[in-house]
């Protein structure tokens, strides 16, 4: 199966589910956009590993909805840490735990939390009963999404099975470049990481990536070049010279090494 094509075919569904979850949890526009980038990045990660796990036991739309719901929980934990109910909520029972979660963790108002409980969780308690529970819960700071957290590096490091470098000196330089490149890539935005992964790991044409991220193809080429330049500048700040990079990029021991092979190319066949 062509999983890249499957991903592109399901992109509207993926975005629709992301928008639904973002609205339900009252994400800001910025947080919703970042969550969408994280979802796309996860779905293409490791050669579309999530799509490859689909075994047809349900329809694909149900499977993707379930996956994205779980990715939302991971998205929350990466920013908040794992949320735990208070001792008072645990003592008062499941309705109290869910009510506290919706208000203290998800930032819903009391009325919004009541509506969510009664509509989505088949809660039988009345509004008055839930209010009596609410006034007993301890005050907790409502957790909000903060700025960008560091994401995992887009590319996996190549294993030793990919082949040794030719010389000890080159092996030392390769290790130095990898050590600097990993945090440099992780410091990019989720959208930039997604673009790099699609372009240099998945070998997607710029025209296809442009359609995926909803921008014109020609400006995207310049954006990719700017990302490459930013990575090169970060490496230079770590004391790595361009001459060292030119000596060994493209070797399988270098994470995302092909990025630098394309730096300075005047055009792309897909533009």
Q: Which of 236, 227, 235 lies closest to 262, judged by CA?
A: 227
Residues 164 and 243 in one domain: yes
Q: At what angle do helices 11-24 and 60-80 cross, to 10 degrees?
A: 50
Burial 8-25 (b: 16+ CB within 10 A, else e): eebeeebeebbeebbeeb
Mean pLDDT, residues 92-102: 88
Question: How does residue 68 score in pLDDT terms, banded at 50, 70 and 90?
Answer: very high
Residues 106 and 176 in one domain: no
Residues 75 and 92 in one domain: no
153 falls within a domain: no
What's the confidence (pLDDT) of residue 30?
A: 80
171 falls within a domain: yes
Least confident of 22-31, 127-136, 210-219, 250-259: 250-259
Residues 125 and 207 in one domain: no
Instruction: Calculate the alpha carbon distances from 54 to 3, 35, 62, 100, 194 in Å.
Output: 11, 22, 11, 34, 22
| pLDDT at 165 exceeding the cut of 50 | no
Q: What does the pLDDT look like over 11-67, one tens digit per residue?
A: 889 999 998 888 877 777 888 888 888 899 889 988 899 999 998 887 888 899 889
121 falls within a domain: yes
Q: What whole-number percentage of the chain has pLDDT above 70?
A: 75
Residues 204 and 248 in one domain: yes
Q: What whole-number percentage of the chain has pLDDT above 90?
A: 8
| pLDDT at 149 exceeding the cut of 60 | no
**How many Å apart are CA 223 and CA 210, to the nearest integer?**
11
**How many Å apart are CA 18 and CA 111, to the nearest integer?**
24
What's the confidence (pLDDT) of residue 183?
A: 84
Q: Alpha helices of the chain — where are they, by DSSP H?
A: 3-9, 11-24, 29-52, 60-80, 87-92, 94-100, 110-120, 127-134, 168-186, 190-196, 206-213, 217-237, 242-248, 258-261
Final residue before a domain boundary, out of 36, 59, 79: 79
Q: What does the pLDDT look like over 173-228, one tens digit per residue?
A: 777 777 787 888 888 888 888 888 887 777 777 888 888 888 887 788 788 888 88
How many CA atoms, within 13 angstroms, populate the side-chain half-sphere of residue 200? 28
Residues 239 and 188 in one domain: yes
Residues 96 and 19 in one domain: no
* Count of CB atoms situated within 10 Å of the CB of 138: 10
Question: How does residue 145 score in pLDDT terms, banded at 50, 70 and 90?
Answer: very low
Helix (H, G, I), strand (E, B) or coil at 24: helix
154 falls within a domain: no
Mean pLDDT, residues 132-157: 52
| pLDDT at 263 exceeding the cut of 50 | no
Looking at residue 257, which CATH number applies to its domain?
1.10.10.10
**How many Å apart are CA 147 and CA 79, to the nearest integer?**
9
What's the confidence (pLDDT) of residue 265?
A: 43
| Domain count within the chain | 3
What's the confidence (pLDDT) of residue 133?
A: 93
Residues 42 and 130 in one domain: no
**Of 178 and 153, which is predicted with more confidence?**
178
165 falls within a domain: yes
Residue 74's domain spans which residues? 3-79
What's the confidence (pLDDT) of residue 179?
A: 79
């Amino acid at each position: 199966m062509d999983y890249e094509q499957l991903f592109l075919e399901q992109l509207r569904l993926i975005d629709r589910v992301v928008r639904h979850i973002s609205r339900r949890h009252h994400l800001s526009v910025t947080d919703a956009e970042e969550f969408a980038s994280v979802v796309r990045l996860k779905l293409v990660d490791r050669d579309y590993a999530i799509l490859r796990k689909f075994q047809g036991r349900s329809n694909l739309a149900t499977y993707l909805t379930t996956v994205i719901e779980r990715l939302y929980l991971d998205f929350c934990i990466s920013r908040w840490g794992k949320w735990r109910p208070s001792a008072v909520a645990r003592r008062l029972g499941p309705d109290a735990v869910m009510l506290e979660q919706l208000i203290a963790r998800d930032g819903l108002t009391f009325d919004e939390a009541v509506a969510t409980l009664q509509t989505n969780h088949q809660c039988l308690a009345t509004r008055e009963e839930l209010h009596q529970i609410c006034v007993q819960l301890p005050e907790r700071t409502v957790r909000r999404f903060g700025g960008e957290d560091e994401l995992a590096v887009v590319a996996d490091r190549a294993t030793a099975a990919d082949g040794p470098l030719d010389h000890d000196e080159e092996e030392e330089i390769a290790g130095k470049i990898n050590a600097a490149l990993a945090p440099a890539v992780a410091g990019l935005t989720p959208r930039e990481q997604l673009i790099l992964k699609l372009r240099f790991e998945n070998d997607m044409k710029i025209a296809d990536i442009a359609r995926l991220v909803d921008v014109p193809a020609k400006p995207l080429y310049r954006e990719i070049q700017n990302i490459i330049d930013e990575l090169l500048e970060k490496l230079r700040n770590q004391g790595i010279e361009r001459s060292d990079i030119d000596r060994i990029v493209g070797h399988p021991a270098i994470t995302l090494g092909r990025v630098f092979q394309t730096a300075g190319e005047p055009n792309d066949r897909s533009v």
